[in-house]
């Protein structure tokens, strides 16, 4: 009887630690940027726009990040982008005016986009192919744990010694990610390609645009949570609103690997249909919720929806595309996520001023659900046609 390969090898644990440190650095700072920008200039629309700049610059870089991932040594790419990330996080300490803060957020997006695409593909080298979705689910737990640790740690450091200490702490976390990837005994696995002219398919998997759009729709709602949740808590006098992220992360620890196993056994539709429904319910509850308990219930629904849906889309594209285009596969879905994360706060800032938090969250969630189901049905028809 053939022995089953284990996901939890020493090298996979090192990759997990690398992702945990890198993601913690991001979540220590990202939820605080809106409030930090408002300490410089009290303008909610401007602050929301600045909050989305990281994803906007990431969106610009993301297609090329996939091409870079498919062309160079994955370990070297992560090392270079992480060094740059450390430097830019420290540069936030000098960003005491709006123009400098805008520059820092744009540069963070450049490095984080390359790091995110390459890191996703890099982790697949340490997962058995027959357990890919399950393994990617466990790999995603690093990001989930970072969502639990990062915002609370960032808020604690801000209260302890201000924003500068928070940025320095985030830089230290990114440096630890650099240490982890440097210690990995990885020589490279790049697939040799025939020399040819650069084409559109080298930077974007057009055949999976539907998945990219679904990721964008789900990410808009997630970006609104990261950008506005603290402000909603203050407006509605909901104490300890930060527990939303903790409960979200705990729920993800349970649901993400389970949904990954379901994905491997049953397929993408068994994951995405409940994910879309739960994401919609979670967003509606945030819109109407006036108590901490309702917000925590919403966090569980969001964990099942956004937290399991988007990684499943990315895993599906990586599994179905040729290994020589694994970077493009990862970046195609990530482009959608960047679109949602970049334009979500900008759109949200304008809508809050006009219709308020409740109507924005409730109406958007309904529109999002309809569009997501249309796109999933379109993919279902394509799959049926190929059979």
**pLDDT computed for residue 383 by the predictor:** 84
Query: What pLDDT digit, counting tens, does each position of 236-261 carry?
Result: 888 888 788 888 878 887 887 788 77
Q: Which of 120-134, 188-202, 286-300 is predicted least confidently?
A: 188-202
Q: Which of 37-46, 199-208, 273-282, 313-322 is predicted least confidently?
A: 199-208
- DSSP string computed for 23-62: HHHHHHHGGGHHHHHHHHS--HHHHHHHHTHHHHHHHHHH
**pLDDT computed for residue 121 by the predictor:** 83
Confidence of residue 2 (pLDDT cuts 50, 70, 90): very low
Handedness of CA 192, 197, 203, 205 (dihedral sign): negative
Query: What pLDDT digit, counting tens, does each position of 4-18 carry?
Result: 577 788 888 998 999
User: How much is the average pLDDT of 153-165?
Assistant: 87
Q: Per-residue pLDDT for 319 more than 70?
A: yes
Question: For a pLDDT cut of 70, what percent of the chain falls above it?
Answer: 95
Exposure string of 167-179, with b = 16+ CB inside 10 Å and e = fewer, is: bebbbbbbbbbbe
Rounded to whole angstroms, how far apart are CA atoms 256 and 264? 12
Mean pLDDT over the full length of the chain = 84
Q: Per-residue pLDDT for 197 more than 70?
A: no
Cα–Cα separations (whole angstroms), residue 222 to 31, 81, 252, 273, 282 = 12, 25, 14, 18, 10
Q: Which domains does the chain have, with CATH numbers?
A: 10-185+202-386 (1.20.1250.20)
Rounded to whole angstroms, how far apart are CA atoms 9 and 12? 5
Two tokens, residue 211: 């998945």
Cβ neighbours, 10 Å, residue 39: 11
User: How much is the average pLDDT of 286-302?
Assistant: 91
User: How much is the average pLDDT of 65-80?
Assistant: 85
User: How much is the average pLDDT of 93-103?
Assistant: 89
Two tokens, residue 90: 């420290």
Q: Per-residue pLDDT for 80 more than 50?
A: yes
Rounded to whole angstroms, how far apart are CA atoms 258 and 255? 5
Q: Per-residue pLDDT for 195 more than 60?
A: no
Q: Per-residue pLDDT for 193 more than 70?
A: no
Comparing CA positions, the residue from 173, 206, 23 lying closest to residue 86 is 173
User: How much is the average pLDDT of 127-143?
Assistant: 78
Distance of CA 353 to the CA centre of its chain: 26
Rounded to whole angstroms, how far apart are CA atoms 65 and 55? 14
**pLDDT computed for residue 281 by the predictor:** 94
Confidence of residue 190 (pLDDT cuts 50, 70, 90): low
Q: Per-residue pLDDT for 191 more than 70?
A: no
**pLDDT computed for residue 85 by the predictor:** 93
Rounded to whole angstroms, how far apart are CA atoms 328 and 193? 14
Please give the model's pTM, rounded to 2 decimal places: 0.73
**pLDDT computed for residue 155 by the predictor:** 82
Confidence of residue 204 (pLDDT cuts 50, 70, 90): confident
Rounded to whole angstroms, how far apart are CA atoms 264 and 319? 10
Q: Per-residue pLDDT for 1 more than 50?
A: no
């Amino acid at each position: 009887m053939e022995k089953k390969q284990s996901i939890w090898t020493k090298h996979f644990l090192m990759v997990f630690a690398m992702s945990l440190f890198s993601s913690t650095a991001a979540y220590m700072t990202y939820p605080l940027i809106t409030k930090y920008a408002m300490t410089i200039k009290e303008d909610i629309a401007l602050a929301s726009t600045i909050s989305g700049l990281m994803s906007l610059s990431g969106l610009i870089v993301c297609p090329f990040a996939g091409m870079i991932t498919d062309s160079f040594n994955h370990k070297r790419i992560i090392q270079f982008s992480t060094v740059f990330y450390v430097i830019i996080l420290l540069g936030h300490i000098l960003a005491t005016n709006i123009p400098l803060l805008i520059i820092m957020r744009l540069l963070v997006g450049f490095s984080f986009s390359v790091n995110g695409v390459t890191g996703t593909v890099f982790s697949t080298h340490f997962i058995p192919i027959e357990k890919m979705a399950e393994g990617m689910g466990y790999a995603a737990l690093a990001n989930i744990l970072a969502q639990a640790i990062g915002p609370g740690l960032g808020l604690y450091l801000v209260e302890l010694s201000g924003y500068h200490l928070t940025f320095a702490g985030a830089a230290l976390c990114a440096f630890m990610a650099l240490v982890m990837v440097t210690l990995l005994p990885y020589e490279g696995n790049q697939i040799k390609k025939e020399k040819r002219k650069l084409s559109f398919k080298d930077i974007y998997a057009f055949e999976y645009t539907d998945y990219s759009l679904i990721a964008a729709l789900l990410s808009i709602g997630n970006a609104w949570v990261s950008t506005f949740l603290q402000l909603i808590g203050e407006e509605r006098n909901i104490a300890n609103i930060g527990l939303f992220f903790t409960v979200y992360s705990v729920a993800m620890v349970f649901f993400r690997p389970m949904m990954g196993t379901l994905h491997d056994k049953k397929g993408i539709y068994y994951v995405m249909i409940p994910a879309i429904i739960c994401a919609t319910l979670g967003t509606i509850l945030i819109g109407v919720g006036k108590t901490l308990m309702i917000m925590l219930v919403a966090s569980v629904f969001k964990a099942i929806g956004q937290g399991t849906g988007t990684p499943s889309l990315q895993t599906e594209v990586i599994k179905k595309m040729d290994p020589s285009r694994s970077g493009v596969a990862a970046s195609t879905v990530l482009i959608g996520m960047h679109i949602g994360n970049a334009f979500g706060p900008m759109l949200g800032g304008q809508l809050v001023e006009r219709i308020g938090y409740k109507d924005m969250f409730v109406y958007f969630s309904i529109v999002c659900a309809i569009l997501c189901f249309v796109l999933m049905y379109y993919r279902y028809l394509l799959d049926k046609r190929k059979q």
